[in-house]
Chain A
Amino acid sequence: MSTANKVRKLSMAEAISEGIGQEMARDERVFVMGEDIGKYGGIFSATTGLLDQFGPERIMDTPISETGFMGAAIGAAAEGLRPISELMFVDFFGVCFDQIYNHLAKNTYMSGGACKFPVVITTGIGGGYNDAAQHSQCLYAMFAHVPGLKVVVPSNAYDAKGLMIQAIRDDNPVVFMYHKGIMGLSWMSYFEGSTNEVPAEPYTIPFGQAKVVRDGKDLTIVTLSQMVQKSVLAADKLAAEGIEAEIIDLRTLVPLDKETVLRSVAKTGRLLVADEDYLSFGVSGEIAAIVAEQLNHLQLKAPVRRLAVPDVPIPFSRPLEQFAIPQVDAIAAEARALMQLTLD
């Protein structure tokens, strides 16, 4: 047997469900509610196998009543349970956001810290498979904008498992956002870099620690979720041209690891933010602002560049969607353009 066979690779979906399952085995207060999370195993397979392992009392299919079961998660968490509540597509937040942003996010604050709400909301994000404007958004900036929610946006299986276990053990609301195009589903093409080696035992990854996915001296690409995988492919192309990109995977938006971003930008002097959320008022603007606020401490060689969905709903037709959502070639092109820019 070759040693390669000993490496256990999991898809991000498998890693997430394994993480949830291990926490459910460890802590009987943990349970899952959501649409099609039982027999179906989650539309994006985030709960595959859990019904068989834990039964319908703890893996609870719900009616299509997001307000109902998001509110129920709040009520159950107030009683000391630790619900995981799945919002099938993040796009559906519109039918239940009151429970999330007016209650889940604020009740700890409004109680002066007297009440805790250890709820994990899992939700599918992202496009790239022609599902159009109501099923393809990222929207993590909207959740990160509201104080009181931690926001986790993994790019690969290893991180997803560690961040999921961390999320379940956190006493605060955590929105765990998995991109459909890196879940490793059998019915949707995905970026293979997201399927990687995952230890069988439980482990945690602390929030607020970005990861330097690739070292480079010429420019910094700050990114997250599926765009990390795209950025890695773009960086390979750039390397062939002699441009060494450093890639920062934010991993969590709340809390945000500003230090790692600033350290890298101080080193390279060039910043590109690659984001699949909308351009305006989002992650790319936030990262640019963080750098701008530190210009007395670091030296830029070129203006900051931002690559994101250009403030249009996600279109259906393939050429339109591939244009609107930044692709590998677009990241490489932005990086090349950035390398041509100077401050004078």
Chain B
Amino acid sequence: MDPTSEQLLWMYEKMVEIREYEETMAKVYLEGKLPPKIQKGLAFDIGAGPVPGEMHLAAGQEPVAVGVCAHLRREDTVVGAHRPHHFAIAKDVDLLGMTSEMFGKANGLGKGKGGHMHLFDPAVKFSCSGIVGAGAPQACGAALAAKKLGKDWVAVSFFGEGAANQGAFHEALNLASLWKLPVIFVCEDNKYGISVEKSASTAIESNADRAAGYGMPGVLVDTNDAVAVFRAAGEAVARARRGEGPTLIEVKTDRYLGHFQGDPETYRPKNEAQQLRQHDPIVILGAQLRARGELDDAKDAALRSTISARVQAAYEHGRNSPYPAPEDALLHVFAD
């Protein structure tokens, strides 16, 4: 299944938005965290600044999010992982609420109780988790619900290649195939589980091969390309909607930034990220659009300016919104 011009443009715009979002966050995140503004002797203070805590950014991994989400509807479920922004943006999660959440503000998606690894937007059926591999069984549950409710909704579980060595992943694959659930398991192979290379963590080359052990199709997308992901995901989503069960897709993708911001990245060659950026999927898709006559400099500048304004407005919204009252920490333990 090839994308229409409209779908290509949607993926391009979303990728531009994700990149703008992540690169802005990379800067905002550092505010207040570096000397001389922090405790003497520290090189970096993770708990300081307007966006405190861990921060895992997805610059470079945009094709996985847009290639899959291009096929999804509002009623379809997405369960992301600890590096969730690209999925959230591609699933149309409320950008203002999501950004406020990362600033810990009262009007954040979780009223400041979740932060960047724990974003919940039930309006578009998006959630994520900071625990590696934990989302796959939950996606099975959403898919089970769709089946029980007689809907053709699907659920997508996104996770990194490190998660494919978790028991939760294997239990979920078996369950999904056994019960023929409309789930698409999407593994982002960005080569590293924090610092450990895939070759040092995973006994086989491609996690797509693991699908065979559970009687489901396994598809390897061996290029960090939105259209290639789009084709693989289109098949998988259509199959799930037809009631034919789950698919496992692995995408070889690229992580341009550290595992988290502040990561010294001593485990990979100094110029690796720079080399990876030579094959920027946004540039590649932009060139395809230009070749089809769907994009030119003027249009590109216009859409980038619109997107940038939207992203920057979200950051301003997050920055300027009020914090919750401290005692609001006591609310929402239960849903009563």
Contact = CB atoms under 8 A, between A and B. Distances in A.
B168 interface: yes
Nearest to B139: A75
A299 to B, nearest CB: 32
Secondary structure of the B contact surface, majority rule? mixed
B171 A112 contact: no
A71 B134 contact: yes
Interface stretch (A38-46, A97-105, A328-336): A97-105
Given A75-B155, A103-B131, A110-B114, A57 B148 contact: yes
Interface in A85-142: 95, 98-99, 102-103, 107-117
B118 A110 contact: yes
Nearest to A95: B167
Contact of B142 (A63, A67, A79, A109): A79
Nearest to A29: B148
A116 B149 CA distance: 18
B143 interface: yes
A315 to B, nearest CB: 30
Chain A interface residue number, banded: 35 or more
Contact of B113 (A68, A79, A95, A112): A112
Contacts of A162: none
Contacts of A111: 109-110, 113-114, 118, 120, 122, 127, 332
A112 B174 contact: no
B298 interface: no
Interface string B306-336: 0000000000000000000000000111111
A80 interface: yes
A31 interface: yes
Interface string B105-131: 000111111100010111001010101
B262 interface: no
A76 B120 CA distance: 15
Contacts of B129: 102-103
Contacts of A108: 332-335
Interface string A54-93: 0001000011010111111111111111010000000000
Contacts of A65: 171, 174-175
B224 interface: no
Given A67-B171, A79-B149, A115 B137 contact: no
A112 B334 contact: no
A112 B332 contact: yes
Interface string B153-178: 00100000000000110011011001
A148 interface: yes
Interface in A151-175: 171-172
A35 B260 CA distance: 39
Given A72-B144, A75-B145, A115-B120, 9 more contacts: A57-B148, A63-B171, A69-B137, A69-B175, A75-B138, A75-B144, A78-B77, A109-B333, A110-B118
Interface of A: 31, 57, 62-63, 65, 67-81, 83, 95, 98-99, 102-103, 107-117, 147-148, 150, 171-172
18 contacts: A31-B148, A68-B137, A69-B175, A72-B144, A74-B141, A75-B79, A75-B137, A75-B140, A78-B142, A79-B77, A81-B145, A99-B168, A102-B134, A109-B332, A110-B113, A111-B118, A112-B109, A114-B110
